Structure 1
């Protein structure tokens, strides 16, 4: 089987393991054993580790499952975008660029986007191999997300701007909104855009983008590390740099609003786990269940309604930097690597772990839909 070269330079897709003698060494060394890229761990087959023969050459910034398959998108500080098929255990694509990639997202199964430290927003056609530059921020582009409801790509950056791109009109910014400070974290869900800026969370309605519909400081001045929208209710979750998570949940009537803060990993003897919560992901299968990953590699599944811990997954060898459920909520991917957001770099291997979570004991977690 052969390595496919497309019309755009530096974009290579792999439909199967390439041979070791017919391609450039830099590519061959990264993909020569694609069929062994996933290594099973654990006797009960509950956990799998996705392990490259030559892992990403720098920190992982984001992982995202595709909207309707088990393809996994990976952006990295090594300036490459990777695509893995978790079902077939094959590396399908590596797309190098000229700057570290800080975030990525899918448009659909065939198209993806990335945000980079050079400010550029890149579009990847995963079928033809074409890479296009949509446009750019005036500074580092930190965050990216897509709303299928509005057909808009939303990006944020250190230039203190939120840009809305109409995918139907390529390279056209339909709306620009300036914010008070650099954008640290952002998530898009339906018509809702939730943005983390320093210590504040701002929620926007993409249909009425003139001002935030809700703003607050959940940790009373402590900086945020991540935000995520709640898929089954109005509200959001936010993780802080000191190990806390805040949930703000509203129902349609407003009579049963819920808001609380908890520490992710309380320690014995009155001490607390004061490290950053790097990411939060909500299960698409179990309403009320979400998972947190922190800077010391702890990954925990929680019951939001009853405010209790359901299960703590095996500790990662490095920081848990990004989390993603697949579309059915049966698999959860955890990216483990160091992060550039900490003063002290945590040494350890990079890796991606795929956990089966469809057999997690969810106890009293509600499974009703919105």
Structure 2
């Protein structure tokens, strides 16, 4: 069953994210509004206007505080109970990615100023550390003490406890531009989606000789009798089923895969826009899908952005190697 959320959103959706401990959904958008939707109560709890397009968002470790980064470079903190918005600091150019680490209590942001910044919300000055990279960061993902960033065709993994150089650097799609990166929650590793429709997974071990890595064509589509590939915009791993992850592409398809067998488990009916962002709830029973143009392609379909919630706890995985967590 799938439920469309009746929320008018005036411009492209940049990110959707379920709360750490509830079914509240955070939605950031290019229309400069941060929205908080209570799925259980079927009500919009908060709509907070900002001064610039919001390019990413995240929760803190509980459900009461959220953060955004915006086209004006500013990082903003939102009290989701009172609606109060506080600026924390800024990048020197557009701020594009944000994530929160529960393990370190640090907020990590990146921007077009080629800097990766960390912020400590427990101090008055907030700002903690800065690292200047060689190029703009296109995508970012946090898991535990690790932050994974995508820069051009390269993926780099940093340890937040030793924030000076990457522990791992690689070109997982052999020189092809990356569109998204995702840390693997159940292992030391990463998954990436590329502009040519490939997904690459790399799982690290204590011995480099035992590292596991593979790439597969994720979203091959047929159009006008010709085979073409749709860029992969988003990847999210299931908290409920170990080894299962979902991808979303520019053609509007969301597909669940088995990471171990590389087999497609289910492909949902096509959405009217690109799949711009994906998020599982904390139990892995619900999947949020943002159907929105992304400003990535010149010929994108421009339909009103929408968010859909799909129940996924009843999917039959059959003989797949992906298994429900107990």
Task: Tell me which interval the TM-score lies in, with the shorter structure as reference length.
Answer: over 0.9
Judge conservation of contact 2:158–2:167 (CA < 8 Å) in 1: yes
Structure with the greater relative contact order (CA < 8 A, sep ≥ 6): 1 or 2? 2
Aligned to 1:225: 179
Judge conservation of contact 2:2–2:308 (CA < 8 Å) in 1: yes
RMSD: 1.7
Per-residue CA deviations over 1:271-328 (Å, capped at 9, x if unaligned) read: 5442211100000111100000001101000001011000001211110000000000
**TM-score, scaled to structure 2:** 0.95
Tell which deviates more after alignment, 360-369 or 202-211: 360-369
Give the Cα separation in 2 of the matches to 1:87 and 1:127: 17
Q: Measure how far apart 1:255 and its partner are.
A: 6.0
Per-residue CA deviations over 1:183-206 (Å, capped at 9, x if unaligned) read: 110011110100001110000011
Query: Relative to structure 1, is the Cα distance of residues 247 and 299 closer, same or farther in structure 2, using a 3 angstrom cutoff?
Result: same
1:334 matched to 2:277? The reply is: no
Q: Measure how far apart 1:89 and its partner are.
A: 0.5
1:307 matched to 2:277? The reply is: no
Query: Relative to structure 1, is the Cα distance of residues 369 and 48 closer, same or farther in structure 2, using a 3 angstrom cutoff?
Result: closer
Judge conservation of contact 2:197–2:220 (CA < 8 Å) in 1: no
* Number of residue-to-residue matches in the alignment: 323
Query: Relative to structure 1, is the Cα distance of residues 167 and 272 closer, same or farther in structure 2, using a 3 angstrom cutoff?
Result: farther
1:48 matched to 2:13? The reply is: no
Aligned to 1:350: 305
Residue 80 of structure 1 is aligned with which of 9, 33, 55? 33
Give the Cα separation in 2 of the matches to 1:68 and 1:112: 13
Aligned to 1:365: 321
5+ unaligned residues in a row in structure 1: which ranges?
1-45
Give the Cα separation in 2 of the matches to 1:361 and 1:272: 30
Higher strand share: 2
1:208 matched to 2:173? The reply is: no
Give the Cα separation in 1 of the matches to 2:68 and 2:92: 16
5+ unaligned residues in a row in structure 2: which ranges?
none
Q: Measure how far apart 1:368 and its partner are.
A: 7.0
User: Which secondary structure state, in structure 2, belongs to the residue aligned with residue 361 of structure 1?
Assistant: coil
Aligned to 1:109: 63
> Larger C-alpha radius of gyration, 1 or 2?
1
- Map 1:98-177 → 2, pairs under 5 A: 98-107=51-60, 108-177=62-131
Q: Measure how far apart 1:254 and its partner are.
A: 5.3
Judge conservation of contact 2:219–2:249 (CA < 8 Å) in 1: no
Q: Measure how far apart 1:182 and its partner are.
A: 0.5
Tell which deviates more after alignment, 358-367 or 86-95: 358-367
Judge conservation of contact 2:253–2:275 (CA < 8 Å) in 1: yes
Query: Relative to structure 1, is the Cα distance of residues 366 and 256 closer, same or farther in structure 2, using a 3 angstrom cutoff?
Result: farther
Query: Relative to structure 1, is the Cα distance of residues 272 and 259 closer, same or farther in structure 2, using a 3 angstrom cutoff?
Result: farther
